[in-house]
A and B are shown apart, each in its own frame.
Chain A
Amino acid sequence: MTEDNYNKNTPWQDLTPGGDIYTAGNAMEFKTGDWRSVRPVFLSEKCKQCGLCFPVCPDNAIPVGKDQKRTDFNYDYCKGCGVCAKTCPFGAIEMKEEGV
C-alpha cells in the first residue's frame, strides 16, 4: 500500500474492503518533515551521547545505532518542535530557522 496505488483520487470501489490497511507501520512512507519551520542542528562535537534526547522525539527522528550512539537528525520526519534542543544539557542541538 503506497501513495502510488492509494491516493485522494482513488475511487471508493478500489479501496480495500473495510478500509483495512495491510502493511504494518507504513506511515513511514508519509514524510512529515515539510511541517518544519525551525530545524534542529546536531553539533556532534558537543554531544556526549548521554541519551537524554533519544526518547523525547515525538517523531522518532533521532536515529540511534546498534552502538548505542545517535547520529544526525532524520529530517524526513522532524517537525521542528525543539523538544530535543531544550532537553540537551550540553547545548549540542541548536534550533535554526528554515530557509535562512
Chain B
Amino acid sequence: MPYNLKEIIAEKPVRFTAGHRMCAGCGCPPAMRMILRALHPEDHAVVSVATGCMEVSTFIYPYTSWTDSFIHTAFECSAATMSGVEAAYQSMKKQGKLPQDKNTKFLAFGGDGGTYDIGLQSLSGAMERGHDMVYVCYDNGAYMNTGIQRSSATPHFADTTTSPAGKVIPGKMQPRKDLTEILEAHHLPYVAQTIGVNNFKDLYEKAEKAIYTEGPTFLNVLAPCPRGWGYPTDMLMQINKLAIDTCYWPLYEIENGVYKITYKPAKKLPIEEFLKPQKRFKHLFQPGNEWMIEAFQKEVDDRWEKLLQLEKATSEPNAEAK
C-alpha cells in the first residue's frame, strides 16, 4: 500500500496523546507519535522508555500519555526490561495462557544518553539475544533532561554545559559516535537511521518495517531540541531538513547487511547551513575558528562517502553473488 499521510493521520489511532509535559516545539513527540502510528490498529504494544525527557515528561503520576502498556524503567535498562517482557510473553503464549490470535509488539525507547552511553550494554545484550523487539533511539545529542550535558552522541565542537566552548576548549573535543554502525555490527535483520521530515514518509515506512520484521530491530531518529541546540523553537522542520540535506544525518537502512540510502540530496548543502541557526555552534563562526567548520565538514563528508561505498559494496547483485 503506498504511503498516504492524510489517510494514516485520519484513520490510525493516536497512541501517544496530548497533555504530556515535553517542551514546546520538541522534536521527539511528533516522531514518536508517527512511529507508534506504524503499528497495526489491532495490535497491542508494550512500551518501555529509559530515563530521559520522554520518560519523565510523558508519565508523570497520575497521568500517562501512552495508550499502550508502559513500563517505567531506569536509565540503563530499557532494552533489558523489554527483552524480559518479550521472553515472558513468548513463554506464556506457548503455554496457552495468552490468546493465540492477538499480537503484542514490543518497543523500547531511549534518548541518546540512555542508548549511546548508559544503556549500551543492555541494548547490545538484548539485540544479541535475538528478542523480537524494536529499539528506538531518539537522538537529541546531549543529556537535555538534566541540563544539556555532553553525551557520546553530541556532535564535535558543540557547546554543552560539560563541554563549554571558550578559550581553553573548542566545545566538545571528540567526534560523535556512530551508533547505527555499532548496531549493524550485531548483524540484525533491520537497522535504520531516520528523521521526521516533509510528510514523514521515511520515518513511518522504516518504523513499520522495524516493528513488523521478526527479530531485534533498531531505529535511530534525530530529534532536535530547541533548548539544547539553541535554535528558534518554530524551526523544527527546517532543522530536520537541513540535517539531511547537509548529510549530517544520512537517511539509510540496512536490511540483512544490505545498505540502502533512502535519501540522497540533489544538492548537498555545506555543513554551515545546518550549524548556523544553532547557538551551540555559534563559536564556530568567530574569526580564527574556521578550522572547526573545515574539520566538521570533513567528518561529515568522510562518513557520507563511506556510506556510499558501503551501499555500493552491499548492493543487490553483489549480495546475490555471495
B65 near A25 with CB under 8 A, answer yes
The answer to whether A64 and B234 touch (CB under 8 A), given A27-B58, A81-B25, is no
Q: When the two chains form the complex, which single residue of B10, B34, B200, B237 contacts A66, counting CB atoms closer than 8 Å? A: B10
Residues in chain A near residue B28, CB distance under 8 A? 58
Q: Decide yes or no whether A57 CB sits under 8 A from chain B.
A: yes
A-B contact pairs, 16 of them (CB 8 A): A1-B62, A21-B59, A26-B62, A27-B17, A27-B58, A28-B18, A28-B19, A58-B25, A66-B10, A68-B7, A81-B233, A81-B234, A81-B236, A83-B25, A86-B238, A87-B237
B196 & A30 in contact (Cβ 8 Å cutoff): no
Cβ–Cβ contact B196 & A55, under 8 A:
yes
B61:A21 contact, CB within 8 angstroms: yes
Q: What is the interface size of chain A, counting residues whose CB is below 8 A from a CB of the partner?
A: 47
Bound: A58/B147 CA distance, A:
21
Q: Tell whether B282 is near chain A: CB-to-CB under 8 Å.
A: no
A29 CB → nearest B CB, Å: 7
Judged by a CB distance under 8 angstroms, whether B14 is at the interface is: yes
Judged by a CB distance under 8 angstroms, whether B66 is at the interface is yes
Using CB atoms and an 8 Å cutoff, list the residues of chain B in contact with chain A.
Answer: 5-7, 9-11, 14, 16-30, 33-34, 58-59, 61-68, 70, 72, 196, 198-200, 226, 233-238
The residue on B at minimum CB distance from A23 is B64
A2 to B199 alpha-carbon distance, docked (Å)? 35
From 36 to 90 in chain A, residues with beta carbon under 8 angstroms from any chain B beta carbon are 36, 49, 51-52, 54-61, 64-68, 74, 76-77, 79-83, 85-87
* B residues in contact with A17, CB < 8 Å: none
CB <8 Å contact, B9 and A25: no
Cβ of B156 to closest chain A Cβ, rounded Å: 27
B233 touching A30, Cβ below 8 Å: no
Residues of chain A within 8 A of B196, CB atoms compared: 55-56
The CA-CA distance from A64 to B5 in the complex, in Å, is 11
**Which 8 residue pairs across A and B have the least CB separation, nearest first?**
A82-B234, A81-B25, A27-B19, A79-B24, A77-B18, A81-B24, A25-B67, A58-B29
Would you give the shortest CB distance from A33 to chain B, in whole angstroms?
Answer: 9
Is A11 an interface residue, CB under 8 A from the partner?
Answer: no
Taken together as a complex, chains A and B put the C-alpha atoms of A42 and B200 apart, in Å, by 22
Q: Which residues of B contact A64 (CB under 8 A)?
A: 6, 9-10
- A60/B199 in contact, CB under 8 A: no
Chain B residues near A31 (CB-CB < 8 A): 19
* Chain A residues near B9 (CB-CB < 8 A): 51, 54-55, 64, 68
**Given A1-B62, A6-B62, A26-B62, are A60 and B200 neighbors across the interface (CB < 8 Å)?**
no
* Chain A residues within 8 Å of B236, by CB: 56, 81, 83, 86
Once the chains bind, are B198 and A24 in contact (CB under 8 Å)?
Answer: no
